[in-house]
Amino acid sequence: MFGLMDGFLKNDPISLQKDILYHVEYTVARSRFSFDDFEAYQALAHSVRDRLIERSHDTQLFFKRKDPKRVYFLSLEFLMGRSLSNSVINLGIRDQYAEALSQLGFEFEVLAEQEGDAALGNGGLARLSACQMDSMATLDYPAWGYGLRYQYGLFRQVILDGIQHEQPDFWLNFGNPWETERVHVTYPVKFYGTVEEEILNGEKCNVWNPGELVEAVAYDNPIPGYGTRNTITLRLWAGKPSDQRDMEAFNTGDYINALVSRQKAENISSVLYPDDRSYQGKELRLKQQYFFVSASIQDIIRRFKDAHSNFDEFPDKVALQLNDTHPSLAIVEVMRVLVDEEHLDWHKAWDIVCKLFSFTIHAVIAEGLEKIPVDLLGSLLPRHLQIIYDINFNFVEELKKRIGLDYDRLSRMSIVEEAAVKTIRMANLSVVCAHTVNGVSTVHSELLKTKLFKDFYELWPEKFQCMTNGVTQRRWIVVSNPSLCALLSKWLGTEAWIRNVDLLTGLREYADDADLQQEWMMVKKVNKMRLAEYIEAMSGVKVSLDAMFDVQTKRIHEYKRQLLNILGIIHRYDCIKNMDKSQQSKVVPRVCIIGGKAAPGYEVAKKIIKLCHAVAEKINNDSDVGDLLKLVFIPDYNVSLAEVVIPGADLSQHLSTAGHEASGTGSMKFLMNGCLLLATEDGSTVEIVEEIGAENLFLFGAKIHEVPELREKGPAHDVPLQCARVLRLIRDGHFGFQDYFQSLCDSVEGEDFYLLSSDFGSYLEAQAAADKAFADPKKWTKMSILSTAGSGRFSSDRTIRDYAEKSWGIEPCRFPSEFDG
Ligand code: 9GP
């Protein structure tokens, strides 16, 4: 007799085969006697999804029964990448699937390559959200992710003649087998209109009569934990027209316009904004923010009300995490619902709201903080503007009592900025309301206290916390580097590190072991081969596996200083050209790999990409240089490419001008994969140094406290000779496009805001130290082993535990282990 808790689906290879063929026939609707790789992938994905859904149902029912406090992670961006490999690994059934497929004549890896990336985010913040979802599921936390289901994710980067062009990412064109559309989970979201004061049951209240109504429909994406049956949900909202409004238009005979307005509703969730640093003042962006916030809050309140009737219990059952300021309208929305719809007294509502929110900021500089013009907010969300004014009024009154009439400080701290264009400071709103304000590295958390939110820190020091970022070892070792995964389990004698990454420190005692070193180098070689094959297929450039693979992959930004890297490459090229044969024979060969997208309107970043291509063209075709130096740009860098690039890197560069990178999480992925870092003492590097020791990486450049003074010196400071020579080569047209690149050179020889010229000397020294270490394979391999061994602190498991304990106040809620499997 079948028991309800037995699990419907079996995971032996025969059952898996049956399920795959079932989906070929009935879901993909192809004959089970004839289907190609893509169709096989689709069927495979659906069979995996069935298993995820089963677990997700069990998890939700279990949560419902236990009714724990839940955390709701609100983020406008999630950079999930591919789901197949990650899912089957977390479900613990990868080998069974591989066997099932091979009997059907398919290879798991080949089918996995058929999957496109879900790129619903720009960069660091978005990929961090994805890692954190994996950790929340694995650590059994009762969590939900909420975001937007963009129809077009981050643009595809196409390079033509070295210039970046942006093309739409039609990621849903071939369907998305992972999601489930919940046609019955929809909420109306209001926009525009007016607010009227009305008397309801003898009480004055504000009634918002919207001018536009859009329906939010839920799409659920299961996120399986590793080594647990718990599978949580990432719920993404898409816009669809509200039947109510459409009917009015249809009834008045305005058929065409009614259909056009359908289109308008879908536009809300159609496109991801592709700039990772600035979103100022765009109406559609604000609409997107409110749309996802409103639907999420309605969903959260509905779930709460299913089991509770008293809002005093709300903070005992709900923690809301604001991933940067993008979802901070949630603060205002909860206030609106509690006051206007649930008719709670203002002060009581505010008291509840202040216990709900934890706020993490990912920016470093004040200019990067989001501000919304009052006119825009007032027109789109008139009731919200009133509420913000009321929150601000109460806050400023309270503040006056605490600090007196210090008008400068009052105006700096006010949520409303009275400038030429009056704006709402979303970061101030978040800090005022949140019970915790988190930085993403120790350095960043200090900057928040001493610079960005100094006034607030002095007022509420207890609110400020550090939650050093982390990445998930499931994706960044187990999925992307299976050879390293096997080696780690062998030498540690256990796979337990996949859930408890601190166990990696156990490698330290073998760092000098000749056998481990030998195996370690073999693993690196296998991964370099995979990367070299990709490079050749993509660019036609053949690279030598004996060369050091030196990688800088991340968004292109002036502060991340890809330009410094390119100037360094030109210097290396120039040196090689001026050497005789015997000197050349001592050069450590390098393959320099750069990849990343520039925001579409960011002209300087696009010029840097062009310069990279121009330099690559010259170097790669120079027979004097041969295998001693190659430069390749990897177009359209995304999560699935990162899974190939990171394991194959020997060295990775993190060159941000000190004080500009909040954390940086790429470095953590490279570190886990035994890649040595060449970096400034910025963001998370400072903590990496604490874990692995300064002797195991290559540090260079000005320190954070030195930057202001160097900038003071300004344009007058001397450009070092080596740097000047490199710039002269560019200016003289050595790499073509002479006029086009002048402004890049001017920026270094002029203001040099990002300190390329002043850091150039120490950058070259760090590069020379890296060459020297690479020439000694034993030393290099030991450093590499110690890098992986010291990477445990940078797991998102640690980050999420920190949040759960110090900020959200939630406990694990694990589906009973007797049903694991
Ligand atoms: O620039 C930060 C990066 O340093 C950090 O690692 C990441 C995650 O905290 O967030 C980045 N910020 C953004 O992606 C957008 O502000």
Whole-number pLDDT of residue 730? 98
- Distance from residue 564's CA to the centre of ligand 1 (Å): 20
In this prediction, the residues of the chain whose per-residue pLDDT falls under 70 are: 1-7, 244-250, 279-280, 715-717, 818-821
Looking at the CA of residue 126, tell me the nearest atom of ligand 1: 14
What letter would DSSP give residue 220? E
Looking at the CA of residue 77, tell me the nearest atom of ligand 1: 14
The residue to mutate among 125, 129, 444, 467, having the most atoms of ligand 1 within 8 angstroms of its beta carbon, is: 125
Q: Which of 474, 555, 630, 814 is catalytic?
A: 555
φ, ψ of residue 73 in degrees (nearest 5) = -95, 105
Whole-number pLDDT of residue 276? 79
- Distance from residue 659's CA to the centre of ligand 1 (Å): 13
User: In sequence order, what E strands does 293-374 have?
Assistant: 318-323, 357-360, 371-373
- Distance from residue 45's CA to the centre of ligand 1 (Å): 31
Residue 289 Cα distances to 120, 129, 242, 392, angstroms: 14, 17, 18, 21
- Distance from residue 657's CA to the centre of ligand 1 (Å): 15
669 is annotated as an active-site residue: yes
* Identity of the residue numbered 757: S
Q: Is the CB of 663 under 6 A from ligand 1?
A: yes
Give the chain's length: 821
- Distance from residue 693's CA to the centre of ligand 1 (Å): 24
554 is annotated as an active-site residue: yes
Looking at the CA of residue 324, tell me the nearest atom of ligand 1: 16
Q: Which 3 state secondary structure label does DSSP give 733?
A: coil
Beta-sheet pairing, 436-439 with 357-360: parallel
Place of tokens 């015997």: 582
- Distance from residue 662's CA to the centre of ligand 1 (Å): 6
Beta-sheet pairing, 464-466 with 212-224: unpaired
Whether 562 contacts 595, CB under 8 Å:
no
Whether 455 contacts 403, CB under 8 Å:
no
- Distance from residue 556's CA to the centre of ligand 1 (Å): 13
The CATH number of the structural domain formed by 67-82+117-155+166-468+805-819 is: 3.40.50.2000
User: Which residue's CA is minimally distant from atom 15 of ligand 1?
Assistant: 276
Q: Is the CB of 330 under 6 A from ligand 1?
A: no
- Distance from residue 276's CA to the centre of ligand 1 (Å): 8
What letter would DSSP give residue 342? S
Domain ranges of the chain: 14-66+84-116, 67-82+117-155+166-468+805-819, 475-794
- Supply the ipTM of this predicted assembly: 0.99
508 is annotated as an active-site residue: no
Q: Which of 127, 444, 524, 560 is catalytic?
A: 560
Give the C-alpha separation, 655 to 681, whole Å: 9
| Other beta carbons within 10 Å of 261 | 17
Q: Which of 186, 436, 553, 665 is catalytic?
A: 665
DSSP H or E segment with residue 231? strand 231-241
Q: Is the CB of 125 under 6 A from ligand 1?
A: yes
Looking at the CA of residue 665, tell me the nearest atom of ligand 1: 6
- Distance from residue 638's CA to the centre of ligand 1 (Å): 16
Q: Is the CB of 440 under 6 A from ligand 1?
A: yes
User: Which residue's CA is minimally distant from atom 13 of ligand 1?
Assistant: 125
Whole-number pLDDT of residue 5? 59
Give the C-alpha separation, 227 to 245, whole Å: 47
Q: Tell me if 67-82+117-155+166-468+805-819 shares its fold with 475-794.
A: yes
The answer for residues whose C-beta is within 8 angstroms of residue 759's C-beta and 6 or more apart is 564, 657, 680, 700, 701, 702
Whole-number pLDDT of residue 13? 96
Q: Is the CB of 469 under 6 A from ligand 1?
A: yes
Looking at the CA of residue 684, tell me the nearest atom of ligand 1: 6
Q: Which of 46, 336, 463, 554 is catalytic?
A: 554
Place of tokens 């709402």: 424
- Distance from residue 664's CA to the centre of ligand 1 (Å): 6
Looking at the CA of residue 662, tell me the nearest atom of ligand 1: 4
The stretches of 308-327 forming alpha helices (DSSP H) are 314-317
Residue 481 Cα distances to 473, 488, 529, 533, 552, angstroms: 10, 11, 13, 16, 19
Q: Which fold has domain 475-794?
A: Rossmann fold (3.40.50)
Looking at the CA of residue 656, tell me the nearest atom of ligand 1: 4
| CA 350 to chain CA mean position, Å | 31
- Distance from residue 603's CA to the centre of ligand 1 (Å): 21
Looking at the CA of residue 368, tell me the nearest atom of ligand 1: 16
Looking at the CA of residue 127, tell me the nearest atom of ligand 1: 8
Q: Is the CB of 333 under 6 A from ligand 1?
A: no
Q: Is the CB of 123 under 6 A from ligand 1?
A: yes
Structure tokens at 621: 């075709």
User: Which residue's CA is minimally distant from atom 6 of ligand 1?
Assistant: 664
φ, ψ of residue 191 in degrees (nearest 5) = -140, 160
Give the C-alpha separation, 783 to 772, whole Å: 13
The residue to mutate among 466, 558, 663, 686, having the most atoms of ligand 1 within 8 angstroms of its beta carbon, is: 663
User: Which residue's CA is minimally distant from atom 8 of ligand 1?
Assistant: 125
Q: Is the CB of 363 under 6 A from ligand 1?
A: yes
The residue to mutate among 131, 360, 440, having the most atoms of ligand 1 within 8 angstroms of its beta carbon, is: 440
Q: Is the CB of 661 under 6 A from ligand 1?
A: yes
Q: Is the CB of 665 under 6 A from ligand 1?
A: yes
- Distance from residue 739's CA to the centre of ligand 1 (Å): 33
The residue to mutate among 362, 426, 558, 657, having the most atoms of ligand 1 within 8 angstroms of its beta carbon, is: 362
Helix axes 426-433, 329-336, angle to 10 degrees: 60
Whole-number pLDDT of residue 241? 87
Give the C-alpha separation, 591 to 650, whole Å: 10
Give the C-alpha separation, 654 to 677, whole Å: 7
362 is annotated as an active-site residue: yes
- Calculate Rg over the CA atoms of the chain: 27
User: What string of DSSP letters covers 423-482?
Assistant: EEEHHHHHHHH-SEEEESSHHHHHHIIIIITHHHHHH-GGGEEE----B-HIIIIIIT-H
Q: Which of 362, 557, 607, 814 is catalytic?
A: 362
